[in-house]
Amino acid sequence: MTEHLDLPGWVHTYSGKVRDLYVPARAHPAGDVVLVVASDRISAYDHVLPTPVPGKGAVLTALSLWWFDQLSDLVPHHVATADGGPGGVPQEVLGRAMVCRRLEMFPVECVARGYLTGSGLVEYAANGAVCGVRLPSGLVDGSRLPEPIFTPATKAELGEHDENVSFESVATQVGHDDAVLLRDLTLAVYGRAEAIARERGVVLADTKLEFGRALDGPHAGAVVLGDEVLTPDSSRFWPADAWEPGGAQPSFDKQYVRDWLTSTASGWDRAGDAPPPPLPDDVVRRTQERYLDAYRRLTGRDLELPRI
Q: What per-residue confidence (pLDDT) applies to 1?
A: 46
Q: What per-residue confidence (pLDDT) applies to 162?
A: 75
CATH 3.90.650.10 fits 10-102, yes or no: no
Q: For 32-61, what is each residue's pLDDT tens digit?
A: 999 999 999 999 988 999 999 999 999 999
Distances (CA, A) of 227 to 70, 80, 232: 16, 13, 14
Q: What per-residue confidence (pLDDT) applies to 308?
A: 85
3-class secondary structure for 234-276? CEEEEEHHHCCCCCCCCCCCCHHHHHHHCCCCCCCCCCCCCCC
Q: What per-residue confidence (pLDDT) applies to 175?
A: 97
**Residues lower than pLDDT 70 in the chain:** 1-3, 156-161
DSSP code of 14? E
Q: For 178-213, what is each residue's pLDDT tens digit?
A: 999 999 999 999 999 999 999 999 999 999 999 999
| Cβ neighbour number for residue 271 with a 10 Å cutoff | 5
Cα(155)–Cα(41) distance, integer angstroms: 20
Q: What per-residue confidence (pLDDT) applies to 4?
A: 79
Q: What per-residue confidence (pLDDT) applies to 46?
A: 85
Q: What's the CATH code, domain 104-242?
A: 3.30.470.20
Q: What does the domain layout of the chain look like in residue ranges?
A: 10-102, 104-242
Q: What per-residue confidence (pLDDT) applies to 117?
A: 96
3-class secondary structure for 56-118? HHHHHHHHHHHHHHHHCCCCCECEEECCCCCCCCCHHHCCCEEEEECEEECCEEEEEEEECCH
